[in-house]
């Protein structure tokens, strides 16, 4: 069995892990890289594996950095099921359709801008090129590892010989890999095709998602439908079983509406998110008190309170 870290490692976004056995290949999440241009351009880099060879995808939740590249996976040849909880299926429907629409609008806006500013197109292309080259350097500095940390560089790729190496194409630029930043990453229609692959699984219901791979979705307490995924994996028929737990994003205990994250007691391998691993959250009651005091202060001064927030799970 091999575990390939293809995203969500050395960076917060782009979550993607590939479990490969002698019997099956299962992808955990297929998230979009978000943030700076250096991160976003990584979404244009081809997958470092053959999507058509996957048996299934299991999805922890519907935030874009965990599901946002699923339409690209389907466009690249994936034709299997995408397993998720019912809540995640419903939310992902909204998220992916909206994402497809936004990518179409971004491309239209770019085309309009270039038409109005023909003299600045070359400089803009240089900026995009700089972001692309920075993404290449970033990818080289954090190459996918197989169950361990692998030291590598742009001149010394990861020793994984079982999959095509996308960084090899990047190192050959130009012209081996042509990335056009002026076309939509994917469209609404691409998202619609992807949604046809979704299959809902209830919490605490073990299901064989691929030969020798049984998945159980457990409450993660993060957003509606979010799940910790427990995989029981048999490397070969009749072989020893191993338990892999992928936390996805974890919520805080005591959050209104959502159930608390499930407490796990045993596993052979744990893939855990650590976005806030280096800090301790203030008590929730204290956060509510500070917010209430702020609202009262603004109200007393007849002001306007603006609360920037992610659209899903943060309001």
pLDDT of residue 43: 87
Tell whether the model's pLDDT for residue 308 goes beyond 90: no
Strand arrangement of the beta sheet that strand 198-200 belongs to: 2-7, 16-20, 25-28, 56-58, 82-84, 198-200
261: its two tokens: 């994250």
Angle between helices 86-116 and 121-141 (to 10 degrees): 140
Tell whether the model's pLDDT for residue 166 goes beyond 70: no
pLDDT of residue 139: 57
- Non-local CB neighbours of 250 within 8 Å, separated by 6+ positions: 220, 221, 222, 228, 261, 272, 273
CA angle 178, 31, 112 (to 5 degrees): 50
Tell whether the model's pLDDT for residue 172 goes beyond 60: no
Pick from 109-113, 137-141, 155-159, 301-305 the range whose average pLDDT is largest.
301-305
- Non-local CB neighbours of 194 within 8 Å, separated by 6+ positions: 70, 71, 73, 74, 82, 96
Q: What would the mean pLDDT of 77-86 be, rounded to a whole number? A: 98
Pick from 7-16, 70-79, 112-121 the range whose average pLDDT is largest.
70-79
pLDDT band for position 19 (50/70/90)? very high
Tell whether the model's pLDDT for residue 31 goes beyond 60: yes
pLDDT in tens, 175-229: 445 566 678 999 999 999 999 999 999 999 999 999 999 999 999 999 999 999 9
Contact assessment for residue 68 and residue 100, using Cβ atoms and an 8 Å cutoff: no
- Non-local CB neighbours of 309 within 8 Å, separated by 6+ positions: 315
pLDDT of residue 223: 93
Contact assessment for residue 284 and residue 269, using Cβ atoms and an 8 Å cutoff: no
Q: Measured between alpha carbons, how far is 291 from 59 in angstroms, rounded to an integer?
A: 33
pLDDT band for position 277 (50/70/90)? confident
Tell whether the model's pLDDT for residue 85 goes beyond 90: yes
User: Can you give the length of the chain in residues?
Assistant: 315
- Non-local CB neighbours of 117 within 8 Å, separated by 6+ positions: 124
Contact assessment for residue 101 and residue 188, using Cβ atoms and an 8 Å cutoff: yes
Q: Measured between alpha carbons, how far is 28 from 16 in angstroms, rounded to an integer?
A: 6
Tell whether the model's pLDDT for residue 49 goes beyond 60: yes
pLDDT of residue 309: 77
Q: Measured between alpha carbons, how far is 232 from 148 in angstroms, rounded to an integer?
A: 20
Beta-ladder partners of 208: 214
What is the model's pTM? 0.79
Domains delineated in the chain:
2-271 (3.60.15.10)
């Amino acid at each position: 069995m091999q575990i390939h870290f293809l995203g969500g490692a050395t960076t917060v976004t782009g979550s993607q892990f590939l479990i490969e056995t002698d019997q099956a290949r299962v992808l955990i999440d297929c998230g979009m890289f978000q943030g700076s241009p250096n991160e976003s351009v990584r979404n244009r880099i081809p997958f470092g594996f053959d999507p058509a060879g996957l048996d299934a995808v299991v999805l922890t939740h519907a935030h874009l950095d965990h599901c946002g590249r699923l339409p690209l996976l389907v466009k690249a040849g994936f034709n299997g099921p995408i397993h998720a909880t019912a809540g995640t299926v419903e939310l992902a429907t909204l998220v992916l359709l909206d994402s497809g629409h936004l990518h179409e609008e971004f491309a239209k806006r770019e085309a309009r801008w270039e038409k109005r500013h023909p003299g600045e197109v070359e400089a803009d292309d240089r900026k995009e090129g700089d972001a692309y080259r920075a993404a290449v350097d970033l990818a080289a500095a954090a190459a996918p590892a197989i169950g361990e940390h692998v030291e590598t560089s742009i001149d010394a790729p990861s020793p994984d010989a079982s999959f095509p190496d996308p960084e090899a194409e990047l190192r050959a630029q130009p012209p081996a890999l042509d990335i056009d930043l002026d076309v939509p990453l994917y469209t609404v229609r691409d998202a619609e095709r992807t949604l046809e692959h979704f299959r809902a699984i209830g919490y605490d219901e073990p299901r064989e998602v691929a030969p020798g791979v049984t998945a159980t979705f457990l409450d993660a307490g993060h957003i509606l439908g979010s799940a910790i995924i427990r995989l029981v994996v048999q490397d070969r028929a009749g072989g020893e079983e191993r338990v892999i737990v992928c936390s996805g994003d974890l919520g805080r205990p005591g959050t209104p509406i959502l159930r608390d994250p499930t407490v796990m007691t045993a596993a052979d391998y744990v893939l855990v998110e650590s976005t806030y691993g280096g800090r301790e959250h203030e008590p929730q009651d204290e956060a509510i008190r500070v917010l209430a005091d702020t609202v009262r202060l603004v109200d007393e001064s007849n002001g306007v309170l603006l609360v920037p927030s992610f659209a899903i799970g943060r309001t």
